[in-house]
A and B are shown apart, each in its own frame.
Chain A
Amino acid sequence: AQRVTQPEKLLSVFKGAPVELKCNYSYSGSPELFWYVQYSRQRLQLLLRHISRESIKGFTADLNKGETSFHLKKPFAQEEDSAMYYCALDAGSNYKLTFGKGTLLTVNP
């Protein structure tokens, strides 16, 4: 069975500092991985997915199959990045996602 691990429940950085939110997965096949974000009092929304290899709001994430990781990175954090971040894995059809427990990022001024 697939599993997504986000080892940090809380992460606090200062504005302008680099930030990395860790995500490791367990799945024997070829996964599709996503990062979803939930800002305060807003709904979950897609931030980025590994297939598109894009940068959204300055965030990037690279799938490392050797380390089974999909860490989310941003070189210079902004206060508006403060939110709950969920790593998610799609292991099969129908986009049934397995979510990690989430990391609450706080960017301090």
Chain B
Amino acid sequence: GAVVSQHPSRVICKSGTSVKIECRSLDFQATTMFWYRQFPKKSLMLMATSNEGSKATYEQGVEKDKFLINHASLTLSTLTVTSAHPEDSSFYICSARGRASKNTGELFFGEGSRLTVL
């Protein structure tokens, strides 16, 4: 099956710094990628939809200047948490949909990245 890889899997940073998380589709071209945030014991919260070559579409309540998303190629999307604060500490997960998923609706998920802001 299709593989989506996230890096780093864990990151600890100081308050005020910026952190970049990468999401790569390893063996397929991802026309659309999604970024989620997962709080402890809560569901996945969709943050934004990222389409290759265009600006990301953010969900209501998600600050686009805080969470910068770039989808520069068909295999890579990045999420940058700018000027991170402790409340940004969370588990961030990406998923990708490729051309092959068009008829199946299946999303392929990364393994997630745990961000801890001190």
**Interfacial residues, chain A to chain B (CB-CB below 8 A):** 9, 32, 34, 36, 42-46, 49, 51, 86, 90, 94-102
Contacts and interface: CB of A to CB of B under 8 A. Distances in A.
B46 to A, nearest CB: 6
Nearest to B104: A49
Q: Which 10 A-B pairs have the closest CB atoms?
A: A44-B109, A101-B43, A99-B44, A43-B111, A43-B109, A46-B106, A99-B43, A95-B97, A95-B105, A32-B105
Contact of A44 (B42, B93, B101, B104): B93
Given A95-B97, A97-B46, A102-B43, A45 B32 contact: no
B76 to A, nearest CB: 18
Size band of the interface chain B makes with A? 20 to 34
Interface of B: 4, 32, 34, 41-44, 46, 49, 93, 95, 97, 101, 104-107, 109-112
Given A43-B112, A96-B34, A96-B49, A86 B43 contact: yes
